[in-house]
Homo-oligomer: A and B are copies of this chain.
């Protein structure tokens, strides 16, 4: 898989992939950087970004297309939706099944060539909900 694209499995790339697969937190590049640094103290943030891009292009991981200011990554490459806490930005998976027929409705009504959709639920996680029950 790496060969045909002239890519190499470097230590950095391997460690990033391994550590990401241990996490269920849909981390940002920066969070992955912090974790990976425990094993590779001299790794740079740029390397983390570059490798996350490569890995998501290879289909080994998924770059999440969510709203919010930073990109997040997910080792689970199956199509699934997420919930995001409006207050702390924590992201979790949802058990909602992919709405495969959603685009059908659009085929006749838009000039766009539809290739997919992003759906994200927003809400309050238990912690934030407790902290500030009022609005």
Contact = CB atoms under 8 A, between A and B. Distances in A.
Interface of A: 65-68, 83, 85-86, 92, 94-96, 102-103, 105-106, 109-126, 129
Count copies of this chain in the complex: 2
Contacts of A118: 67, 118-120, 122
B117 A119 contact: yes
Contacts of A92: 110, 112
Q: What DSSP secondary structure best describes chain A's contact surface?
A: mixed
26 contacts: A65-B122, A67-B67, A83-B114, A85-B112, A86-B115, A92-B112, A94-B106, A94-B110, A95-B106, A95-B110, A96-B102, A96-B105, A103-B121, A110-B123, A112-B121, A112-B123, A114-B121, A114-B122, A114-B123, A115-B123, A115-B124, A117-B120, A118-B119, A118-B120, A118-B122, A119-B119
Contacts of A124: 112-113, 115
Given A113-B123, A114-B122, 16 more contacts: A65-B68, A92-B112, A95-B109, A96-B105, A106-B121, A112-B121, A114-B121, A115-B122, A116-B121, A116-B122, A117-B120, A117-B121, A118-B119, A118-B120, A118-B122, A119-B119
